[in-house]
Structure 1
Amino acid sequence: MAKKVITRGKFDKLQQLSNDKGVIAALAIDQRGSMKKMMKAADDKAGAEYSLDQIYKFKELVSKELTKYASSILTDEELGFKAMTAKDPNSGLILSYEKTGYDVTTIGRYPELLHEESIERLAAKGADAVKVLVYYNPHDKEEINNIKHAFVERLANESRGADMPFFLEIVTYDDAIPDAKSFEYAKEKPSLVLDAMKEFTKAKYGVDVIKAEIPVNWSFVEGHTAEGVKPAYTEAEAADIFKQVNDAVDRPFIYLSAGVPAETFREELIFAGKSGNKFNGILCGRATWKDGIQVFADGGEDALTKWLETTGKENVEELNSILNTYAKPWYEWYGGLDNIEVVDSVVTR
């Protein structure tokens, strides 16, 4: 196997973002619009007064307490600026580069970057990588996807120029099936996820790490459905779908939790690992800290800190245990560390 050439900046930063096994065990708390809604709902329930300062403090405390156990953290500068400085110094930093509040009701769901940022600017603020979310239907009209393909190609060149790892988060959709929790969508989800990953693993997009959805809807896997719910796949079919992910990509990929309960995300990861899926880590957000929002609204900083030191820590460590058992090092896709040639100059793949 020919050696894989990686630039010094990207190599060192990918290592910084990973644990000592080369696995990306990352915490995600870059939610902005949805975070405001969750905090407001918790305050209403608690009879508390909502303010942005609560969100700043919540993200700060989550970062301070949980990055002790995470290899890196994904956050945003808008609401997570305190989280950026509160993180454990040994934990890497990934910053969101996309604008929040995508209008998912508009045909196309076109991505948009933060107007006042660049990858160089985010690097100057301490980022070890940037993350960009793209809503994508691989079976959508060519005129829609062509715009998204060009968008990601431009990001590839920008990340090469800054010698900064580029994480692409792919969230699939189908306007013809608006209910993503339906049986019909569950049947289509595997082809959406697999075909999207096949597209963006192409060298021209320059993606260093794909942040992917679980390729099945776990609520429709036989043996794991609620009472009376018709399964969309048998366990054997679901396992085969997880195996197909390995053939869809040629570079590191990690799973997002998509807001499912912590127990569900753990079940998904264990099933993926037992199925032979070669995932390289996670970027887990709400499954880790979501329940802490109501704790914070009800009891304030002290209550949240105690919750993070106990339940929050347990959530992270249980995921870490699963990663230690099943996740593969990011560099395994390149034949291992001995098969990587690190160069100082910026090169294309």
Structure 2
Amino acid sequence: MAQTLTPGKWRGLRQASVKGDVFTILAFDQRSSYRKLLPAGSDFETAVTIKSEAVSTLSLYASAVLLDTEYGLLAALHLARSCGLLMALAKSSYSGDTTYRRVEFDPDWTVAKIKRMGAAAVKLLAYYHPHSGALAEEVEAVIRAVAAECQRCDLPLFLQPLSYSLVPHVAKESVEFARTRAEVVRETAARLSTTGADVLKLEFPVDVSYESDRSVWRKACASVSAASKLPWVLLSAGVDFGTFAEQTRIACQSGASGFLAGRAIWKEAIKMPADARQRFIGETCVQRLQTLSETAKTQARPWTDFYAPPPLSPQWMREYAAL
């Protein structure tokens, strides 16, 4: 049975989706990975300007755009009027070591501030491994606390768990980790869909560097959909566009509710000279976003399969909690 949402969460998810209740969201909240893509010698103003120029064009073709606080304010102020705004809450980095990662926050940035600036939803990044024992429970508690604050502010929470290796000598990109990836992503979806988030932003559950069989991809995505109690969207993780387009097709056919993707759409543009960059964004990046959006619109599962609007009542304003 569909869960009933509060007015703010219902409106936020509608603002972040297109007709048909699927998500076609552009991610541009990258910070450290974005800096690595910038032309050599770029200063803060250049980073802000390039991001804003890209977003002002691409937001015309996205249901929403996800932005960061470091470089994203100007872009947020110039979104297309038809486009919703998601704001990242946590830092893109983590505290602890590579095999024991905690969520890292900026003390000056809060859910309440995201609410005040008019965003449709909050995005929380959490490095997470379901088999990390006490640390997994600690991260889950952090997520629940953020979810409670989102509930208080009546904003939807998009939760992005990122997996990592718990073994020092085993890299995430290794074949050893690839063998466990499907189970890790599936178990992550199962566990974190009970923490109070509203939408999961998930990695593709197969490392396609080692597995090209589309039937394996499809089975893994269907397993994630079966495990999750929430709608989920696919992140791109910086793979090439052709690969991500195929991943999106299979994920949406297997129960995903759309995509929330960034670098697969726009990464080549960032290093280009201004004129070439603008042409690439206006032509190639727009075409990529339209291709992905068409897949989501025709094949993704509506988030309204999971959620119902608040009930109508003449007393609703009295029952609706104040901040």
The CA deviation string for residues 282-327 of structure 1, in whole angstroms up to 9 with x for no partner, is 11100011000121xxx22x33222211111111111112112211
Q: Are the counterparts in 1 of residues 170 and 176 from structure 2 also a CA contact under 8 Å? A: no
- Separation (CA, whole Å) in 1 of partners of 2:107 and 2:282: 37
More helix by share: 1
Q: Which amino acid aligns with 1:240?
A: K
Deviations 1:158-201 (CA, angstroms, capped at 9, x unpaired): 01100000111011112226322222111100011000110011
Letter in 2 for 1:329: P
Distance 1:259 1:133 in 2: 16
Match of 1:207 among 189, 197, 214: 197
CA RMSD, Structure 1 to Structure 2 (Å): 1.9
| Aligned: 1:312 with 2:303 | no
Distance in 1 separating the partners of 2:147 and 2:261: 24
Query: What is the correspondence of 1:143-292 to structure 2 with a 5 Å cutoff?
Result: 143-176=134-167, 178-202=170-194, 205-221=195-211, 224=212, 234-273=213-252, 276-292=253-269
CA distance in 2, matches of 1:214, 1:107: 21
C-alpha distance 193-130 of structure 1, shift in aligned 2 (>3 A): same
Letter matched to residue 54 of structure 1: T
Distance 1:104 1:193 in 2: 22
Match of 1:228 in 2: none
Q: Deviations over 1:26-72 (max 9, x none)?
A: 00000111211221xx32xxxxx321211101110111000000000
Which range moves more in the overlay, 69-78 or 29-38?
Answer: 29-38
Length-normalised TM-score, structure 1: 0.86
The separation in 1 between residues aligned to 2:234 and 2:68, in whole angstroms, is 19
- Tell me which amino acid in the other structure corresponds to 2:204: I
Match of 2:305, SS state, is: helix
Q: What SS does structure 1 have at the residue aligned with 2:91?
A: coil
Q: Do residues 23 (structure 1) and 2 (structure 2) align?
A: no
Please, which runs of 5 or more residues in structure 2 have no aligned partner?
none
* Equivalences, count: 316
Against the structure 1 CA distance between its residues 16 and 267, is the aligned structure 2 distance closer, same or farther, given a 3 Å change threshold? Answer: same
2:89 counterpart of 1:89: no
Map 1:52-91; keep pairs closer than 5 Å.
52-91=44-83
Could you report, residue by residue, the CA deviation over 1:220-265 in whole angstroms, capped at 9, with x for unpaired residues? 22xx3xxxxxxxxx44333222211121012111010011011110
Larger displacement relative to structure 2 (76-85 or 237-246)? 237-246
Aligned to 1:231: none
List alignment gaps of at least 5 residues for structure 1. Answer: 44-48, 225-233
1: distance between equivalents of 2:99 and 2:249?
A: 36
CA contact (8 A) 1:167 1:207 kept: yes
Conserved 8 A contact 2:6-2:310: no
Structure 2 CA distance for aligned equivalents of residues 143 and 66 of structure 1? 41
Give the TM-score normalised by structure 2.
0.92
Aligned partners of 1:18 and 1:24 also within 8 Å: yes
In structure 1, distance between residues paired with 2:115 and 2:23: 19
Per the alignment, residue 127 of structure 1 pairs with 119
